[in-house]
Amino acid sequence: MTQKELKEIGQAILQEHGIKGKIKFKKISGGRATKLGNISIPKWTLKESKNQYYALYYVIHEVSHLIQYHRGLKGCHTDEFKEIEKALMLRYNMIPIYSKAYPKKLINQQGETLYERG
């Protein structure tokens, strides 16, 4: 997936939820989502895994934070946040296997590994 396609996916999800946001890929170490609707995705995620599943996960993760803020939910990586994130990931045939706040592995519905943290 290209950077443009990933941005379009994120923007489409935000629009579905009535959220105005802007997604940018930047040369940064970690992603961010602000309550004002600005999302920053590290450029290194584009090289992290085969077929950019990790980059797609990262976009969904940050978009999930905006949805969480929009719903007035408190906290950061709460159970409610993970439910939002998992529902969005499932649309793209991705299931997270969590290690605390972040997935250590992404699999598809057939059980095949899409990404595994090394």
- Distance, in Å, from the CA atom of 79 to the CA atom of 76, rounded to the nearest integer, reads 9
Q: Check residue 65 and give its pLDDT.
A: 94
The answer to whether 1 and 51 have CB atoms below 8 angstroms apart is yes
Residue of higher predicted confidence among 73 and 15: 15
Residue 22 lies in a domain: yes
Per-residue pLDDT tens over the stretch 18-37 = 999 999 999 999 999 998 89
Q: Check residue 50 and give its pLDDT.
A: 56
Residue 118 lies in a domain: no
Report the CATH number at residue 62: 3.30.2010.10
Residue 46 lies in a domain: yes
| DSSP 8-state assignment for residue 52 | G
Q: Check residue 58 and give its pLDDT.
A: 93
Q: Which domain holds residue 71?
A: 3-93
Residue 113 lies in a domain: no
| Helix, strand, coil content of the chain in percent (nearest 5) | 45, 25, 30
| DSSP 8-state assignment for residue 117 | -
Residue 115 lies in a domain: no
Helix (H/G/I), strand (E/B), else coil: 101: coil
Residue of 46, 49, 63 whose CA lies nearest to 9? 63
| Number of separate domains in the chain | 1
Per-residue pLDDT tens over the stretch 63-109 = 999 999 999 988 888 999 999 999 999 999 999 999 888 889 999 99
Residue of higher predicted confidence among 1 and 3: 3
Q: Which two tokens mark 60? A: 């969904």
> Does the pLDDT at position 48 exceed 70?
no
Q: Which two tokens mark 19? A: 């959220």
Residue 33 lies in a domain: yes
pTM: 0.92
Residue 13 lies in a domain: yes
Residue 39 lies in a domain: yes
